[in-house]
Amino acid sequence: MAIVRMEPVNVQVKANWIDGTPREITWGEVRLPVTRLNAVRRETSAFRASVGPRTVFEIDTPGVRLVLSFQHRSRRWTVEGVDDEVGLS
């Protein structure tokens, strides 16, 4: 599977309140439960102080693999990549 990068799309995410890992994503009218957390990358030093750090999650949901990022300063979740073989309609 190959992840295709895309223009970031804002989504709503329900996350575990203890460790912050995503549990469910709402993308428009579609709700996707997170079935597997494949990778976590904490980017604490990669951005200017005005932008702030972010954490990137590679996750599986039923039928689609996503790259999901959380921007800590703005507290915003975005989808930045989708598996190229399966997409959302």
Largest CA distance in the chain: 37
Give the pLDDT of residue 8.
83
- Spell out the per-residue pLDDT of the chain, length 89, in tens: 577 777 888 999 999 999 889 999 998 999 999 999 999 998 887 667 677 788 999 999 988 899 999 998 889 999 998 885 654 54
Per-residue confidence (pLDDT) for residue 46, from 0 to 100: 67
Please report the pLDDT score of residue 40 as a whole number: 94
The predicted pLDDT at position 4 comes to: 76
Q: Rounded to two decimals, what is the model's pTM?
A: 0.83
Residue closest to 21 by CA, chosen among 34, 9, 8: 34
- pLDDT of 84 reads 59
Strands in the chain per DSSP E: 3-15, 22-27, 30-33, 36-43, 54-61, 64-71, 76-83
